Structure 1
Amino acid sequence: MKRSHKLLSFALVAAIATGTYSCTDNYDEINTNKTKLTELDGSAIGNAFAAAQYRSIQASWQTYQSLFADLQGQYFANIAQNFSSDRNVMVGNWLNGAWSGFYGTAIPPLLGVLDATKPGGPNENPAQYAIANIWKVYMYLPRTDYWGPIPYSEVGNGLSSVKYDTQEAIYKDFVKTLAESTAALGAFKGTNVYANNDQIYAGSVDKWILFANTLRLRIAMRMSKVEPALAKTEAEAAVAGGTLASNADDAFLKVTANSFNPMNQATAWNEFRMSAAMESVLKGYADPRISKFYAPVPGTTNTFKGLRNGYTQGQLGADENNANKTSNVADAFLPAVQQTNPFAIMYASEAYFLKAEGALKGWNMGGTAKDMYEKGIETAMKQWGIADAAAITAYINGTTTPIALNDMVKTPALTNVPVKFSADASKQLEQIITQKWLANYPNGHEAWAEYRRTGFPKLYARVNSDNPDSPADAVVRRTPFVTGEYQSNKVAVDAAVGLLGGPDKSSTRLWWDKP
Structure 2
Amino acid sequence: MMKGHIYIYLLGILLLSVSCTGKFREFNTDQSGITDEDLVIDDNGFGIRLGIIQQGIYFNYDFGKGKNWPFQLIQNLNADMFSGYMHDAKPLNGGTHNSDYNMQDGWNSAMWTHMYSYIFPQIYQSENATRDTEPALFGITKVLKVEVMHRVTDYYGPIIYKNFANARNQYRPDTQKEVYYEFFNELDSAVVSLVGYIEKRPESNGFSRFDLLLDGQYSSWVKFANSLRLRLAMRISAVDPDKAYTEFRKGLENEFGVFEAEDERVAVSTQSGFTNPLGELNRVWNETYMSATMESILTGYDDPRLKVYFEACTDKAYAGEYRGIRQGTC
- In the superposition, the TM-score normalised over structure 1's length comes to 0.49
Aligned pair partner of 1:239 in 246, 252, 258: 252
Is contact 1:282-1:290 (8 Å) kept? Answer: yes
Once the two structures are TM-superposed, the CA of residue 108 in structure 1 deviates from its matched residue by: 2.1
Q: Deviations over 1:340-360 (max 9, x none)?
A: xxxxxxxxxxxxxxxxxxxxx
In structure 1, stretches of 5+ residues that fail to align are 1-10, 17-39, 317-515
- 1:286 and 1:43 map into 2 onto residues whose CA distance is 48
Once the two structures are TM-superposed, the CA of residue 204 in structure 1 deviates from its matched residue by: 1.2
Once the two structures are TM-superposed, the CA of residue 239 in structure 1 deviates from its matched residue by: 1.0
The letter of the residue matching 2:175 is T
What SS class does the counterpart of residue 166 from structure 2 fall into? coil
1:69-88 equivalence runs, <5 A = 69-83=79-93, 84-88=97-101
Once the two structures are TM-superposed, the CA of residue 276 in structure 1 deviates from its matched residue by: 1.7
What SS class does the counterpart of residue 267 from structure 2 fall into? strand
Which residue is 1:26 aligned to?
Answer: none
Which residue is 2:122 aligned to?
Answer: 109
Structure 1 range deviating more: 258-267 or 137-146: 258-267
1:394-413 equivalence runs, <5 A = none
The letter of the residue matching 1:61 is F
What SS class does the counterpart of residue 247 from structure 1 fall into? coil
- 2:312 and 2:306 map into 1 onto residues whose CA distance is 9
- 2:171 and 2:278 map into 1 onto residues whose CA distance is 31
CA-based RMSD:
2.6
Aligned pair partner of 2:229 in 213, 216, 222: 216
Is contact 2:56-2:148 (8 Å) kept? Answer: no
Which residue is 2:51 aligned to?
Answer: 50
The letter of the residue matching 1:243 is V
Aligned pair partner of 2:290 in 270, 274, 288: 274
- Structure with the greater alpha carbon radius of gyration: 2
Q: Deviations over 1:249-280 (max 9, x none)?
A: 11111347875432223222222211222212
- 1:257 and 1:194 map into 2 onto residues whose CA distance is 15
Which residue is 1:139 aligned to?
Answer: 148
Against the structure 1 CA distance between its residues 256 and 107, is the aligned structure 2 distance closer, same or farther, given a 3 Å change threshold?
farther
Against the structure 1 CA distance between its residues 199 and 169, is the aligned structure 2 distance closer, same or farther, given a 3 Å change threshold?
same
In structure 2, stretches of 5+ residues that fail to align are 1-30, 61-69
Is contact 2:268-2:274 (8 Å) kept? Answer: no
- 1:265 and 1:151 map into 2 onto residues whose CA distance is 32
Which residue is 2:71 aligned to?
Answer: 61
Structure 1 range deviating more: 300-309 or 229-238: 300-309
Once the two structures are TM-superposed, the CA of residue 159 in structure 1 deviates from its matched residue by: 6.3
- 2:56 and 2:242 map into 1 onto residues whose CA distance is 35
Q: Deviations over 1:127-178 (max 9, x none)?
A: 1101110000000001001111111112233669522111111100101211
Against the structure 1 CA distance between its residues 289 and 56, is the aligned structure 2 distance closer, same or farther, given a 3 Å change threshold?
closer
1:302 pairs with 2:320: yes
Which residue is 1:250 aligned to?
Answer: 265
Is contact 1:68-1:85 (8 Å) kept? Answer: yes
Against the structure 1 CA distance between its residues 161 and 258, is the aligned structure 2 distance closer, same or farther, given a 3 Å change threshold?
farther
Aligned pair partner of 1:177 in 163, 186, 190: 186
Is contact 2:142-2:189 (8 Å) kept? Answer: no
- 2:230 and 2:86 map into 1 onto residues whose CA distance is 27
Is contact 2:89-2:289 (8 Å) kept? Answer: yes
- In the superposition, the TM-score normalised over structure 2's length comes to 0.75
Aligned pair partner of 1:156 in 148, 157, 165: 165
Aligned pair partner of 2:210 in 185, 189, 197: 197
The letter of the residue matching 1:46 is G
What SS class does the counterpart of residue 253 from structure 1 fall into? coil
Q: Deviations over 1:289-344 (max 9, x none)?
A: 322111111235411101222x2xxx42xxxxxxxxxxxxxxxxxxxxxxxxxxxx
Aligned pair partner of 1:98 in 80, 101, 111: 111
Q: Deviations over 1:41-72 (max 9, x none)?
A: 45311111011111331262111110121123
- 2:88 and 2:192 map into 1 onto residues whose CA distance is 44
Instruction: Considering fraction of residues, name the structure with more helix.
Output: 2
Against the structure 1 CA distance between its residues 282 and 259, is the aligned structure 2 distance closer, same or farther, given a 3 Å change threshold?
closer
The letter of the residue matching 1:106 is I
- 2:253 and 2:206 map into 1 onto residues whose CA distance is 23
- 2:271 and 2:103 map into 1 onto residues whose CA distance is 33
- 2:268 and 2:245 map into 1 onto residues whose CA distance is 30
